[in-house]
Chains A and B, each alone.
Chain A
Amino acid sequence: MGLLIGPQFLNLVDVETQKGLAPLSALLLGWIGLLFGFQFEIKNLRRFPLEFFIAAILEGLMTLVLVFTAVYLTMVFCFDIPDSLTMVIAITLAAAGGCTAQTGLAFLSLDTIDKHQHTVKLLRFISSIDGLGPLLIFGLCFFYNPSTGSDGLWPGGLWKGVLTSLGGSFGLLLLFNLFISHSRLEKELILVVIGMTMLTSGLASTVKFSPLLTNFFVGFWLVNLSKDKERIYQILMTVEKPAYLLLLVFIGVCVRLDSIWLVFLALVYCLYRVFGKFLAGFLVTCLNPKFKKYPRQLGFGLLSQGGLSMAIFLDFQHIFPSRISTFVISFAILAVIYNEFLSYYFFERLFKKGAQ
């Protein structure tokens, strides 16, 4: 849909319209960040064994490191792109590669879930939170700025940015709570959540930081410190699906299918990710003796690449709008589609191999 209405075909959403829709796009990114932050309610996480949490974080980070290394080396040896941009692209692709969606799990039959409930439970847990490490690492991209020529990491700026982001998100949390304290009706709450998400996203972009990550921090604070978290969560969930659908449309608008190389590069990126997931899943089950009961092919069930990855791509496109970033987004989106197809196949393989 996005591809169809975008500049490549119907041009209904031209460059000017995209500028006009920028607040909506920022709202979407923020909404997804908030939703992801709400996954990290400490009270809720403690209901699961600590090993689960460690496994999820390790799996995400290991995939990230593997995909990053592969992508970075490929780009250094095969493409002539400035170093700083190479780093940023590699981090973005690796971060998006580290995230897992639950779409594959959603299609499992009740019978399969019943037969392999322990594995399904672990997979569900991992896929809901393994994006944490990659998302935080993705935040590093915001301390590079190829457009101004400042290459490489800037430690002073990094700490300043982290402190600003954390401090700002805490201030925003306070503001959020003040608004919610006197908003009783559902329509008022919708307004407050929309307004606060826009405010947070706008603030983050203006101070050169990620709207996705800043809203994630706000979501994290809210779910752990606010008394009204249930009400906010209800509001966020009511438009969860429309938000993801719109995100896909916005991503589709950014895509340009104008080179056959896209198909090939998407395949390469997809293979790197699949390899990364398989290896990370294998290592996670080997490193902890308690995980012996889970299949070594755990990575087979972690191939779906959904909303958070898409949000990372959109965020990346906003910060680094260029022909290169559009090209990267285009093949990355194709790779997401490949991953979805592979996911169904490998899910079947995983559960045929006698997982619990």
Chain B
Amino acid sequence: MSRYKQYIPYLKTYSITLFLLAGFAFWIKIIDVGSNWQQAGLTTFSLGFVLLAAYITAKILRIAELPLISGYILVGIIAGPYMTRFLTETMVVRLRLVDDLALSFIALTAGGTLQIQFLRKRSKAIAVNIFLITLVVFILVFFSFFFISSRLNLMPDLTYSQIMVLACLLGVIAVARSPSSAIAIISECRADGPFTATVLGVTVAMDVLIIVFFSLAMTVSEIILVAGTAFDFHTLTVLCLAVAGSLVLGIVFGKGISLYIERVGHDLPLFLLFFAFSVFKASIWFNHVIETHFAISLQLEPLLICMSAGFTVQNFSKCGNIFMEGLERFALPIFVLFFSLAGASLNLDALRMTWPLAAFLVMVRAIGILGSTWFAGFLNNDPPQHRRIAWMAYITQAGVAIGLAQLAQRRFPELGVYLTTLVLAVITINQVVGPIIFKMALKMAGEVKQEQ
């Protein structure tokens, strides 16, 4: 208890700040909003409010050793359309563009974190872990969800194929990890060693691969739902082209970013903002043009383009550090906004109905990770202690997983409510539990140098 006494002055300041912020929010809520200009103002105010409230709440939660991201999501939930209605559904929809921009930034960061020399050093261990985690977690989540949903008739308004698609998407999203959370915790603990290196390698590499798996899952889902026919080679070719095209485009753009940094250099955050915006808009425009004029469903993935671009700048130019610094400067507001808006889109009504299923999925996923990491450790001849605790490092989920669920929601609106709610429910649990046990794992592995 005495440990917490030192935080009392901080808590007082945080409480007064939140109280004043809430006062402004209350004042604005009683104002009669008529014109479009006022409505736009209200949206801007709400965004500012959520940003600041999430930041302060995360700081309060941090005293209780809870991760910052939980604070952001919590504020999003409270401010969202299902609790206080401070952020209405219309606002959340209107802020989708901000959301997309944030997601591009996160994808650029994820790609930039991936360092080739680092991957080479632990390549075998990383590859074995990725392969087993992907396979086991996907299969376990897919079959468990499919079995339990069909047997217990949990979603009576969904057809058999819709449940199959939902299981498939949930299975893929269950594989996703959170590189940002992992990096934050490793940096907080100043952890270093083979265990940390493997965890980081698996986490960031998985973040790139997950896009490929997700694209594949989306295509398979579309075939199941729309065409109802078997997987044909044409579709497979188009998918491969889309993935390869996205990767190649990312490489080209990455080279462009490097050139910009080398030749121009200034206003990098602004340039990256333009880049992120352009990639999203241009992908949508390109996909639309290809589909309407050539009747080909070639879906370029903006996330994959951004990741590939980030990876190229980091590994095939001399300006990786400058690039990461440019992203880092505005990372905090972008992350706070992204996670808060994700929290705001959490459908609490559906969550109330699905929480047992969410808890079940968390357990199944954890079991899958435990089994696969133990076996990977066995194959890699890792020390027994590392084998036992490895699963604890892979529970945390956020960022990209939420983004994937939102993308799937837009592609399959009929499944969206279930998917996003389930994913966010699972992520919320994993995000609260994950970082705490990851920190414990790092301590147990003996790789914590000194906490910041």
Contact = CB atoms under 8 A, between A and B. Distances in A.
A28 B42 CA distance: 16
A182 B35 contact: no
A199 B20 contact: no
B31 A202 contact: no
A197 interface: yes
Interface of A is mostly: helix
Interface string A188-212: 1011101111111111111110010
B41 A203 contact: yes
A59 B330 CA distance: 39
Contacts of A12: 281, 285
Contacts of B98: 20, 23-24
B331 interface: yes
Contact of A242 (B41, B59, B267): B267
A238 B266 CA distance: 11
Interface string B278-311: 0001000100000000000000000000000000
A23 B50 CA distance: 13
- Report the 7 A-B pairs with minimum CB-CB distance, sorted nearest first: A205-B41, A202-B45, A198-B48, A20-B97, A199-B48, A202-B44, A242-B270
Contacts of A319: 37
Contact of B24 (A175, A181, A194): A175
Interface residues on A, range: 35 or more
Interface string A170-183: 01101100110110
B429 interface: no
B187 interface: no
A245 B274 CA distance: 12
B173 interface: no
A206 B330 contact: no
17 contacts: A23-B95, A171-B23, A175-B21, A178-B20, A182-B10, A187-B331, A190-B329, A190-B330, A195-B48, A195-B52, A196-B48, A198-B44, A200-B48, A202-B41, A205-B37, A205-B45, A321-B37
Contacts of A199: 24, 45, 48-49, 52
Contact of A321 (B36, B46, B56, B331): B36
Nearest to A246: B270
B416 interface: no
Contacts of A26: 40-41, 44
Contact of A196 (B14, B52, B59): B52
B446 interface: no
B148 interface: no
Nearest to A320: B37
B109 to A, nearest CB: 13
Interface of B is mostly: helix
Nearest to B99: A20
Given A182-B14, A199-B49, A246-B270, A191 B55 contact: yes
A192 B55 CA distance: 9
A22 interface: yes
A147 interface: yes
Contacts of B36: 321
Contacts of A171: 20, 23-24
A201 B49 CA distance: 11
Given A182-B13, A203-B24, A23 B44 contact: yes
Contacts of B31: 206-207
Given A182-B14, A190-B329, A199-B24, 15 more contacts: A17-B97, A20-B97, A22-B44, A175-B17, A182-B59, A191-B51, A195-B52, A199-B48, A200-B48, A202-B42, A203-B28, A204-B41, A205-B41, A206-B38, A206-B45
A225 interface: no
B270 A245 contact: yes
A192 B336 CA distance: 11
Given A147-B35, A182-B10, A187-B331, A192 B40 contact: no
B94 interface: yes
